[in-house]
């Protein structure tokens, strides 16, 4: 999500690898082991949770998490929890990294010591406060000073145990006094509007009685401070929960009698001794936090135009896009933004075809075609990852889920067999799984995305033209991507492709490894397949598949996905599951006398309909056809005093839904908007708040059918698979050129030296080679002005 900042759009994202924890404290019981999981939090809001690793004090997680961050934050935090079956899960410790410190640990494995967690240190949010010091003349004519403390509002307070009913205490404290006052409790909001003023006398008139505990006529204002404590009013017997505090010395009023500012809440200093750092163990993390600062589109026109002409340059190695691949340290760095940019502008097929043709012409052995980590390979990998993710899910996910849930023994290495396992039974279990996976893949050709098929067609044609004597190269050129780089890795590590929520258990992981090896070999169409395996037990198992029908099925599949004009788009009828999960919905009022309460439901979105049911697998309680979704927008918090709510607007009513966190809310809004983008009756205006008590809270209109009062958010691309910002990707490419400027300048210098050697009088040849259209040349160097990326 973009945040506007001085004419810029600022995009925040974070990619996290949660490695492992070590030396966690033992459980105070006879077993001593713990069942631990790790959460990722933006401030106090949980946005991701790993699997539970049972019976370990050194749990290995090995999980990756990426998200676009849709709001401002102060800390990125990681909590290690110990699961408790009978009581609330207990926190072992945490790692909290301030936003400004994230670059210190950028993209490198780091061990962090776990820190102790107590309620007084878990704070977030900020307070808007105004102080005013004024002179007051008493009835006797004596002048004294009084302090007016106005607490206006708070923002971003944490939600405690599912609710937030905040109030504030305001205290004037000094060496000889402590005077406290309290605001009203604001119910069900973490952004309370208080706007209350409290008055304190800060200097005493000369007539003040010396018999009191004040033994001087006037207090030293510099020694006084205002302390504001935020609390959550709780009905629990343990008392109200502390939410944070701030302390402001009155010396801030030296220069002016009035002072107004926003303050971040701070943890309470309770004077407790800090424990040794090594007491709680440590956690290994790799964090990549990125901010993209994107200017308006016209800033990027010169560079973008050069990039989009890359496919037309002869030779393609002189094109802007190919040069980026040459100067980057890793081809992947260049491939990601290039592919996203070309997909956005519909130029990915011509570009990949051009660089693939160039690579094929350089290849001498058909057996090594597309086997290196070239720019071509990385670009095709990235295209498959972006355009083919839903295809991958609809093809593999049901069978992968069955394998994970079935837990059948499939070990075929005699050395690794467990007691009581039978080798023949295991082989049969594995053979059935391989057959299932092989069949769903080879029958899925009709569902393969068009952009992938067009790329495969160009690969097939280039390979067949280059190696005319090798009849199989037209197949191996395609299978090296669709099997080796697409299906096989997804089977091997399903969590990396969102086929499973977490890493699979060791037994299932071993089963998937054996399946992946077999599928990879079946798809390779190699002449000597048994020799493809280093392990004798794999060669023996592969004898099950030494039948011509398997090779024929692979070739038919490859023919289908790499043939021009191969399919009828209307033939794809099965619904594609796009997203599912638990959320909380408000009753829509379809029953005249029904209660409009909130209930937890399992939501399921396909490219045909949006449904919810009581639990996963149950019959739908309600279904919204995609064509009936008129808009999907955020719902303002004031409507129900609940965070992370959005609305799915239908012709007759709106469905109000609360997601688990801000990242999930954004993901649901984005995918629902994308899948319904082409609906002809989409709204242009909507109501950002709910219709309650006979009127809209936003515009106060009394009719529930009144037109919306705010414009709907900007449209997204109709393609449900891709949501790409072309300017953001161009900014990333500019940043890469800027990062590798020294290599770019050296390349330019070498080219100038080469051309100088071929000019008349300087050596052989009749002059420099002419520059083709779209090619980078000295008088066409882009001077980008000021765009930058932090």
Model pLDDT for residues 208-224, shown as the tens digit of each residue: 443 333 333 455 667 78
In the prediction, which pLDDT does 622 show?
93
Q: How confident is the model at residue 7 (pLDDT cuts 50, 70, 90)?
A: low
Q: Do both 527 and 427 map to the same domain? A: yes
Please tell me the least confidently modeled range out of 118-122, 612-616, 746-750: 118-122
Give a yes or no: residue 200 inside a domain.
yes
Give the structural domain span for 402.
388-562
Please report whether residue 363 resides in a domain: no
Q: DSSP letters along 540-557, please?
A: HHHGGG-SHHHHHHHHHH
Q: Which range has the top average pLDDT, 422-431, 495-504, 749-758?
A: 422-431
Q: Per residue in 195-210, pLDDT tens?
A: 999 998 876 544 444 3
Q: Are residues 409 and 514 located together in one domain of the fold?
A: yes
What percent of the chain stands above pLDDT 90? 43
pLDDT computed for residue 373 by the predictor: 86
403 with 490, same domain: the answer is yes
Q: How high is the pLDDT of residue 395?
A: 93
Same domain, 130 and 22: no
pLDDT value, residue 235:
65
For the segment 589-603, the average pLDDT, to the nearest whole number, is 72
80 and 112 both lie in a single domain? yes
Does 751 reside within a domain?
Answer: no
Alpha carbon of 29 to those of 25, 37, 148, 160: distances in Å? 12, 19, 55, 29
**What CATH code is carried by the domain that includes residue 260?**
2.60.40.150
468 falls within a domain: yes
Q: Which of 380 and 421 is assigned the larger pLDDT? A: 380
226 three-state secondary structure: strand
- Scan for tokens 């936090």, then name that residue: 289
- Residue 761 CB partners (closer than 8 Å, separation 6+): none
Q: Is residue 781 part of a domain?
A: no
Q: Which residue has the higher pLDDT, 386 or 607?
A: 386
Q: At what angle do helices 301-308 and 726-739 cross, to 10 degrees?
A: 90
Higher pLDDT, residue 729 or 212:
729
* Interval 292-302 mean pLDDT: 91
Q: What pLDDT sits at residue 759?
A: 59
Quote the number of domains for the chain.
Answer: 4
Distance, CA of 195 to CA of 150 (rounded, Å): 7
Token reading at 336: 């990601």
Tell me, yes or no, whether 103 and 134 share the same domain: no
Is the predicted pLDDT of residue 179 greater than 90, yes or no?
no
- The Cβ of residue 301 has, within 10 Å, a number of other Cβ atoms equal to 11
Sheet bearing 654-658, strands edge to edge: 622-625, 609-613, 598-606, 577-586, 654-658, 645-649, 631-634
Question: Among candidates 152, 129, 124, which has minimal Cα distance to 261?
Answer: 129
Does residue 419 share a domain with residue 496?
Answer: yes
Q: Alpha-carbon Rg of the chain, whole angstroms? A: 32
Residue 568 has pLDDT above 60, yes or no: no
Q: Report the pLDDT value the prediction gives residue 209, as an integer from 0 to 100.
A: 43
- Residues 249-260: b if buried by 16+ CB within 10 A, e if exposed: ebeebeeeeebe
Of the listed ranges 129-133, 200-204, 339-343, the least confidently predicted one is 200-204
Q: Which of 647, 678, 711 is the last residue of a domain?
A: 711
pLDDT value, residue 619: 92
Predicted pLDDT of residue 591: 56
pLDDT tops 50 at residue 779: no
Regarding whether 404 and 551 lie in a shared domain, the answer is yes
What is the rounded average pLDDT for all residues in the chain?
83
Poorest-pLDDT segment among 71-75, 105-109, 632-636? 71-75
pTM of model > 0.85: no
- pLDDT tens-digit map of 447-482: 888 889 899 999 999 999 999 888 888 899 999 999
Scanning 312-362, the segments in alpha helix (DSSP H) are 320-327, 331-344, 348-362
Give the C-alpha separation, 382 to 623, whole Å: 35
Interior angle at CA 171, CA 273 and CA 144, nearest 5: 135
The answer to whether the CB of 611 falls within 8 A of the CB of 622 is yes
CB proximity list for 295: less than 8 A, separation 6 or greater = 7, 8, 727, 731, 786, 787
Core vs surface per residue 520-539: b (16+ CB within 10 A) or e: bbbbbbeeebeeebeeebbe
Region 351-358: mean pLDDT is 94
> How does pLDDT run across 53-73, given as a tens digit for each residue?
989 999 999 898 988 888 888
Q: Check whether 112 has a pLDDT greater than 80.
A: yes
Q: Are 280 and 116 in contact (CB under 8 A)?
A: yes
**Does any domain span residue 318?**
no
Show which of 655, 683, 711 is a domain's final residue: 711
Residue 312 phi, psi dihedral angles, 5° rounding: -95, -5
Mean pLDDT of 485-493: 94
Phi-psi map region of 113: left, alpha, beta (phi>0 left; psi -120 to 50 alpha): beta
- Report whether 147 contacts 173 (CB < 8 A): no
Contact yes or no for 307/321 (Cβ under 8 A): yes
Q: Looking at the structure, tell me whether residues 197 and 149 fall in a common domain.
A: yes
pLDDT at 757: 67
pLDDT at 760: 58
Q: For the residues 63-86, what does the mean pLDDT come to? A: 87
Q: pLDDT band for 276, please (50, 70, 90 cuts).
A: low
Q: Given a cut of 90, is residue 440 above it in pLDDT?
A: yes
Would you state the structure tokens that stand for residue 667, as one six-digit string? 């993901």
**Res. 783: pLDDT tops 80:** no
Q: Can you tell me the distance from the alpha carbon of 731 to that of 291, in angstroms, rounded to the nearest whole number?
A: 11
Q: How far apart are CA 117 and CA 640, in angstroms?
A: 31
**Do 153 and 58 fall within a single domain?**
no
| Inter-CA distances, 587 with 601, 657, 687, 699, Å | 11, 10, 18, 23
Say which residue, 273 or 60, is predicted with more confidence: 60
pLDDT (0 to 100) of residue 511? 95
Which one is predicted more confidently, 718 or 663? Answer: 663
Q: Where a domain ends, among 711, 745, 775? A: 711
Q: Is the same domain home to 440 and 509?
A: yes
pLDDT for residue 271: 47
DSSP state, residue 486: I
> What is the reported pLDDT for 722?
56
Q: What is the dihedral of CA 289, 295, 301, 307, to 10 degrees?
A: 0
Classify 30 in phi/psi space as left (phi over 0), alpha (psi -120 to 50) or beta: alpha
Strand partners, 148: 132, 199
Question: Does one domain contain both 108 and 130?
Answer: no
CATH code of the domain in which 673 resides = 2.30.29.30
Residue 530 counted as domain residue:
yes
Asked if residue 786 belongs to a domain, the reply is no
Strand 36-42 and strand 45-49: the pairing is antiparallel
- 225 is written with which tokens? 């401070």
């Amino acid at each position: 999500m973009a945040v506007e900042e001085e004419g810029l759009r600022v995009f925040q994202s974070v990619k996290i690898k949660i490695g492992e924890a070590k030396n966690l404290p033992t459980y105070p019981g006879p077993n001593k082991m713990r069942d631990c999981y790790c959460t990722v939090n933006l401030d106090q809001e949980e946005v991701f949770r790993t699997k539970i690793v049972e019976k370990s004090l050194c749990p290995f997680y090995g999980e990756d998490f990426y998200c676009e961050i849709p709001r401002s934050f102060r800390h990125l935090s990681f909590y290690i929890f110990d699961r408790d079956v009978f009581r609330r899960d207990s926190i072992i410790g945490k790692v909290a990294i301030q936003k400004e410190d994230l670059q210190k640990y950028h993209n490198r494995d780091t061990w962090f010591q776990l820190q102790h967690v107590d309620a007084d240190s878990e704070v977030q949010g900020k307070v808007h406060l105004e102080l005013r010091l004024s002179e007051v003349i008493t009835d006797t004519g004596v002048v004294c000073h009084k302090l007016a403390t106005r607490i206006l509002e708070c923002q971003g307070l944490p939600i405690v145990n599912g609710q937030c009913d905040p109030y504030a205490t305001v205290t004037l404290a000094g060496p000889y006094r402590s005077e406290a006052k309290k605001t009203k409790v604001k119910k069900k909001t973490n952004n309370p509007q208080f706007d209350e003023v409290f008055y304190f006398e800060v200097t005493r008139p000369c007539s003040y009685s010396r018999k009191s505990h004040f033994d001087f006529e006037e207090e030293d204002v510099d020694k006084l401070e205002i302390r504001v404590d935020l609390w959550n009013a709780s009905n629990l017997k343990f008392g109200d929960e502390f939410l944070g505090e701030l302390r402001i010395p009155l010396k801030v009023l030296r220069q002016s009698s009035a002072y107004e500012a926003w303050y971040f809440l701070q943890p309470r200093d309770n004077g407790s001794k800090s424990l040794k750092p090594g007491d709680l163990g440590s956690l290994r993390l790799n964090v990549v936090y990125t901010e993209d600062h994107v200017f308006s589109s016209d800033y990027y026109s010169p560079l973008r135009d050069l990039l989009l002409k890359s496919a037309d340059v002869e030779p393609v190695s002189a094109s802007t896009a190919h040069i980026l691949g040459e100067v980057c340290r890793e081809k992947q760095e260049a491939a990601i933004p290039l592919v996203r940019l070309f997909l956005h502008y519909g130029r990915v097929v011509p570009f990949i075809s051009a660089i693939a043709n160039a690579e094929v012409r350089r290849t001498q052995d058909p057996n090594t075609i597309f086997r290196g980590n070239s720019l071509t390979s990385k670009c095709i990998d990235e295209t498959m990852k972006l355009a083919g993710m839903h295809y991958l899910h609809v093809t593999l996910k049901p069978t992968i889920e069955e394998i994970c849930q079935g837990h059948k023994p499939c070990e075929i290495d005699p050395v690794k067999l467990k007691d009581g396992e039978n080798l023949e039974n295991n082989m049969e279990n594995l053979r059935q799984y391989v057959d299932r996976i092989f069949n769903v893949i080879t029958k899925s050709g009709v569902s393969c995305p068009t952009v992938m098929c067009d790329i495969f067609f160009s690969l097939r044609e280039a390979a067949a033209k280059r190696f005319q004597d090798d009849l199989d190269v037209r197949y191996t050129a395609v299978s090296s991507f669709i099997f080796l780089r697409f299906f096989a890795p997804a089977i091997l590590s399903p969590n990396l492709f969102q086929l499973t929520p977490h890493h699979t258990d060791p037994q299932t992981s071993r089963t998937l490894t054996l399946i992946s090896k077999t599928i990879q070999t079946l798809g390779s169409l190699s002449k000597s397949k048994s020799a493809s395996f280093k392990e004798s037990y794999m060669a023996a198992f592969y004898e099950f598949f030494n039948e011509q029908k398997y090779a024929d099925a692979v070739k038919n599949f490859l023919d289908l996905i790499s043939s021009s004009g191969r399919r009828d788009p209307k033939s794809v009828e099965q619904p594609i599951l796009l997203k599912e999960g638990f959320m909380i919905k408000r009753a829509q009022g379809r029953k005249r006398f029904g209660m409009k309460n909130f209930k937890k439901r399992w939501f399921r979105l396909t490219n045909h309909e949006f449904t919810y049911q009581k639990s996963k697998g149950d019959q739908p309680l309600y279904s919204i056809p995609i064509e009936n979704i008129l808009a999907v927008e955020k719902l303002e918090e004031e409507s129900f005093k609940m965070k992370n709510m959005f609305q799915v607007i239908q012709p007759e009513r709106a469905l109000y839904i609360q997601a688990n966190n801000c990242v999930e809310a954004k993901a649901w809004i984005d995918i629902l908007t994308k899948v319904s983008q082409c609906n002809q009756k989409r709204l242009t205006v909507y109501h950002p708040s709910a219709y309650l008590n006979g009127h809209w809270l936003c515009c106060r209109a009394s009719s529930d059918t009144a037109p919306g009062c705010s414009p709907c958010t900007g449209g997204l691309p109709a393609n449900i698979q891709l949501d790409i910002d072309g300017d953001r990707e161009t900014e990333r490419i500019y940043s890469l050129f800027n990062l590798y400027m020294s290599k770019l300048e050296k390349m330019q210098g070498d080219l100038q030296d080469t051309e100088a050697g071929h000019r008349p009088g300087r050596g052989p040849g009749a002059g420099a080679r002419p520059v083709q259209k779209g090619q980078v040349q000295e008088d066409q160097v882009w001077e980008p002005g000021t765009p930058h990326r932090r």
